[in-house]
Amino acid sequence: MNRELIEQYAAGADVPAKSIVGLERADLVAFPVPGTWSIQQIILHLMDSDLIGADRMKRIAAEERPTLVGYNETAFGNRLGYEHLSARDAAEIFRLNRLMTAEILRRLPESAFSRVGQHTERGEVTLEQLLAGYVQHVDHHLVFIRDKRKRLGKPL
């Protein structure tokens, strides 16, 4: 296990908050790319995804071969009222969750990262694989936020 992954995970804690600096509510809920999520929806998605990810990682570390239930991110975005929530609060929840989860991960023994859970859609997954996926997830969505900001005339 490359423990640098944990530090990369922790380093991503501030990314959502930094990505929305200088944006007004109208910018956050705008759809500069029709048919895609708004910046607001991306930030709320990142928060929800990371909360679910932290739960999954902790359950793999603590339980024997836990079942990791998949979820429909589109349904979350469409039915949970993301447009009515605070992107800034979501970014802060994301930050705190990341930092707390990183602290837990730092304290785990090396052997914990090869422990597995059974994902209902992807099959067997190790703690290390999940961690790597959540590190990449933020960067993946940051590309879209940057593009939307550029289209709104407010580059990051």
For 144-155, write each residue's pLDDT tens digit. Answer: 999 999 999 999
Report residue 129 as tokens: 């694989």
Question: CA 84, 130, 55, 60: dihedral to nearest 10 degrees?
Answer: 170
Give every strand in the sheet of 123-126, ordered side by side. 67-68, 116-119, 123-126
pLDDT for residue 156: 84
pLDDT for residue 50: 98
pLDDT at 88 over 90: yes
How far apart are alpha carbons 57 and 63 in whole angstroms?
A: 10
pLDDT for residue 112: 97
**Could you tell me the residue ranges of all domains in the chain?**
4-151
The residues pairing with 126 across neighbouring beta strands, listed in sequence order, are: 116
pLDDT for residue 140: 95
Q: pLDDT over 70 for what percent of the chain?
A: 100
Record the pTM: 0.95
Average pLDDT of the segment spanning 126-134? 97
Average pLDDT of the segment spanning 94-102? 98
Average pLDDT of the segment spanning 32-37? 93
Q: Under the phi-then-psi rule, with left for phi > 0, alpha for psi from -120 to 50, and beta for the rest, what region is 89?
A: alpha
**CA 103 to each of CA 25, 79, 97, 99, 108: distance values in angstroms, whole numbers, following the listed order:** 33, 32, 10, 6, 9
What top-level class would CATH report for the domain 4-151?
Answer: mainly alpha
> Where does the pLDDT of residue 2 fall: very low under 50, low under 70, confident under 90, or very high at 90 and above?
confident
